């Protein structure tokens, strides 16, 4: 039998149904081409990989980030022993190519973007002489590959995902995006983005995540600064980038009315009413906003001085809602300046700021970030191990033994931070609070959907991510699995096989 190409998204937990499609699987599937037949896609957030489906000589691409690297290595080792070609890619493999060889039995590691280099890697493996390392670099926006949505399994995902821009001009200390994807935003052309979205809408996806690092790459302040510096070249560049954002949103606004988008954005967008209005018209109804901390000290801790704190922060966040954009606020707990009061103050602020959803994550030194470098090189971490594994490689520690927090706190124990963070999730997502927030939608059916989704979100991210008790994690995963299957239908739309490109784009094509 001819060898086959497999693409695997590792996960140690499977929910049967997932919220968002892991886009990279379908992009690499498209990049693979069809010369070797359609690639086989396995997303372990749905179901665990059946190792028997892989034959000797097959090529297996495993995409890893820090959170799933350990499971990825387990898969790679098992499949190499079965005689398959094992290839790693993704952010974690880009940062630690040697580790993928030493711990994951890699034949090959691909650094950077896989869009263009992947077919060469496959060809070299099938010819029997791959190199041990390839560098895909940073692909230009116009070369981003459109995903092969025809390979999606039926009725498994609630939201599709389309990328419109890679890279982020900011430099937050806990984030690796600006260092791995770069600080120069790389925008895809409007026509390519919308063509992909139209295909998804034809297939019945009406909820689409614009899976960008930062959907708002040019701020009003960036433009003002270029003007102050009389830097005409930079100003023209920024204006062109901004104009393209508006063109994209205009095209989105012409899509069927029941289509809904969600994205990630910095808080500065609240100061840009024209941008928020365009978002509303485009039906970008929700945005994840990295609030991180409610205090000025906390923001300084993470190099996010461009955010506001206190009552100004409440005002800024409310500006999104006033313009019709719901906010999923993201907060970090465990910052050096946090105190026991920070937790309740954060939940109270999230409520006052009218956030529709919130997530409370624990400060984790992720590789590729400034925080990680500082933490991993500090004398206190040297020689600290769990089961013989250095904590500076915490992703290699088995999940049930892995500490939930790593950075010693000046006044609180790590267990206290974890418990208080769990308390924040419990408070924000209590039945009563969720019922009250469900007023953002009108019909009873929509309110029930809102409640289900809120509870699902909490189960998937709080109980399985923060809880240390493995029985609680297992129970939560089971409950989330059940709820996910209930929720999926709420997001599906009727397929529209005859949907055409928006009028504005068709005009351009004719011209
Ligand atoms: S956290 Fe957001 S704003 Fe900060 S660097 Fe990362 S993507 Fe950019």
Mutation to probe ligand 1, out of 175, 212, 215, 269 (largest number of atoms < 8 A from CB): 175
Q: Is the pLDDT of residue 178 over 60?
A: yes
Mutation to probe ligand 1, out of 91, 164, 167, 170 (largest number of atoms < 8 A from CB): 170
> What is the Cα–Cα distance from 494 to 415, expressed in whole angstroms?
47
Q: Is the pLDDT of residue 502 over 80?
A: yes
Residue 294 or residue 507, greater confidence: 294
Question: How far is the centre of ligand 1, averaged over its atoms, from the C-alpha of 241 (Å)?
Answer: 18
Residue at token pair 């906010």: 327
Question: How far is the centre of ligand 1, averaged over its atoms, from the C-alpha of 450 (Å)?
Answer: 28
Residue 368, token pair as written in the block: 């590729």
pLDDT band at 466 (very low <50, low <70, confident <90, very high): very low
Q: What is the pLDDT of residue 298?
A: 79
Q: Is the pLDDT of residue 157 over 80?
A: yes
Question: How far is the centre of ligand 1, averaged over its atoms, from the C-alpha of 500 (Å)?
Answer: 35
> What is the Cα–Cα distance from 237 to 223, expressed in whole angstroms?
10
> What is the Cα–Cα distance from 362 to 331, expressed in whole angstroms?
9
Task: Give the residues across from 90 on adjacent strands.
Answer: none
pLDDT band at 421 (very low <50, low <70, confident <90, very high): very high
- Nearest CA owner, ligand 1 atom 7: 213
pLDDT (tens digit, 9 = 90+) per residue, 326-369? 999 999 999 989 999 999 999 999 999 999 999 999 988 889 99
Mean pLDDT of 487-509: 81
Question: How far is the centre of ligand 1, averaged over its atoms, from the C-alpha of 206 (Å)?
Answer: 27
Q: What is the pLDDT of residue 382?
A: 92
Mean pLDDT of 235-254: 96
The pTM (predicted TM-score) of the whole model is: 0.89
Question: How far is the centre of ligand 1, averaged over its atoms, from the C-alpha of 178 (Å)?
Answer: 7
Q: Which atom of ligand 1 is nearest to the CA of 171?
A: 5
Q: What is the pLDDT of residue 132?
A: 98
Question: How far is the centre of ligand 1, averaged over its atoms, from the C-alpha of 185 (Å)?
Answer: 12
> What is the Cα–Cα distance from 230 to 379, expressed in whole angstroms?
46
Pocket of ligand 1 (CB under 6 A): 168, 170-172, 175, 177-178, 213-214, 266, 290
**DSSP-assigned states of every residue in 43-100:** ETTTS---GGG--TT-EEEEE--GGGHHHHHHHHHHHHHTT-EEEEESHHHHH-HHHH
Mutation to probe ligand 1, out of 177, 305, 370 (largest number of atoms < 8 A from CB): 177
Mean pLDDT of 122-144: 96
Mutation to probe ligand 1, out of 214, 215, 221, 328 (largest number of atoms < 8 A from CB): 214
- Nearest CA owner, ligand 1 atom 6: 175
Question: How far is the centre of ligand 1, averaged over its atoms, from the C-alpha of 115 (Å)?
Answer: 23
> What is the Cα–Cα distance from 491 to 19, expressed in whole angstroms?
10
> What is the Cα–Cα distance from 251 to 363, expressed in whole angstroms?
38
Q: What is the pLDDT of residue 477?
A: 61
Residue 163 or residue 447, greater confidence: 163
Cα-to-chain-centroid distance, residue 195: 22
* 3-state DSSP assignment of residue 260: strand
pLDDT band at 468 (very low <50, low <70, confident <90, very high): very low
Mean pLDDT of 176-191: 92
> What is the Cα–Cα distance from 191 to 182, expressed in whole angstroms?
24
Mean pLDDT of all residues belonging to the chain: 90
> What is the Cα–Cα distance from 146 to 126, expressed in whole angstroms?
24
Q: What is the pLDDT of residue 357?
A: 93
Q: What is the pLDDT of residue 280?
A: 96
Which backbone phi and psi does 357 adopt, to 5 degrees?
-135, 160
């Amino acid at each position: 039998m001819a060898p086959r190409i497999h693409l695997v998204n590792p996960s140690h937990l499977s929910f049967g149904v997932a919220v968002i499609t892991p886009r990279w699987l379908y992009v690499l599937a498209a990049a693979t081409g069809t010369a070797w037949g359609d690639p086989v896609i396995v997303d372990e957030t749905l179901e665990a990989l059946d190792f028997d489906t892989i034959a000797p000589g097959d090529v297996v691409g495993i995409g890893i980030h820090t959170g799933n690297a350990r499971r990825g290595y387990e898969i790679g080792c098992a499949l190499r022993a079965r005689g398959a070609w094992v290839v790693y890619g993704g952010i974690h493999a880009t940062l630690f190519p040697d580790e993928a060889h030493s711990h994951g039995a890699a034949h090959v590691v691909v650094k950077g973007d896989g869009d263009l280099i992947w077919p060469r890697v496959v060809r070299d493996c099938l010819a029997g002489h791959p190199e041990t390392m390839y560098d895909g670099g940073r692909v230009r926006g116009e070369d981003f590959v459109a995903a092969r949505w025809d390979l999606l399994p039926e009725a498994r995902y609630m939201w599709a995902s389309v990328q419109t821009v890679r890279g982020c001009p900011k430099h937050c200390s806990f984030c690796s995006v600006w260092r791995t994807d770069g600080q120069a935003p790389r925008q895809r052309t409007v026509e390519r983005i919308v063509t992909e979205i139209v295909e998804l809408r034809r297939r019945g996806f009406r909820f689409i995540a614009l899976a960008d690092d930062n959907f708002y790459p040019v701020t009003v302040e960036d433009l003002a600064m270029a003007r102050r510096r009389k830097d005409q070249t930079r100003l023209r560049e920024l204006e062109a980038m901004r104009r393209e954002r508006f063109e994209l949103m205009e095209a989105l606004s012409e899509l069927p009315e029941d289509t809904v988008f969600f994205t990630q954005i910095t808080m500065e967008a609240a100061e840009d009413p024209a941008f928020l209005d365009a978002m509303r018209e485009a039906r970008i109804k929700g945005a994840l906003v990295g609030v991180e901390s409610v205090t000025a000290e906390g923001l300084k801790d993470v190099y996010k001085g461009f955010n506001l704190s206190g009552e100004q922060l409440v005002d800024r966040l409310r500006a999104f809602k006033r313009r019709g954009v719901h906010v999923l606020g993201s907060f970090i707990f465990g910052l050096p300046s946090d105190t026991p009061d920070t937790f309740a103050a954060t939940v109270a602020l999230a409520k006052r700021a009218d956030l529709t959803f919130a997530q409370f994550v624990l400060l984790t030194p992720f590789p590729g970030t400034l925080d990680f470098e500082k933490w991993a090189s500090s004398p206190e971490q040297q020689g600290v191990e769990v089961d013989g594994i250095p904590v500076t490689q915490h992703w290699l520690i088995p999940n049930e033994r892995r500490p939930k927090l790593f950075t010693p706190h000046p006044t609180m124990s790590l267990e206290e931070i974890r418990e208080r963070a769990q308390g924040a999730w419990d408070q924000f997502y209590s039945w009563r609070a969720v019922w009250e927030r469900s007023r953002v939608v009108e019909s009873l059916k929509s309110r029930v959907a809102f409640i289900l989704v809120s509870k699902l979100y909490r189960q998937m991210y709080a109980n399985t991510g923060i809880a240390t008790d493995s029985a609680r994690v297992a129970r939560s995963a089971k409950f989330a699995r059940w709820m996910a299957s209930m929720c999926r239908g709420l997001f599906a739309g009727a397929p529209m096989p005859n949907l055409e490109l928006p009028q504005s784009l068709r005009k351009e094509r004719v011209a």
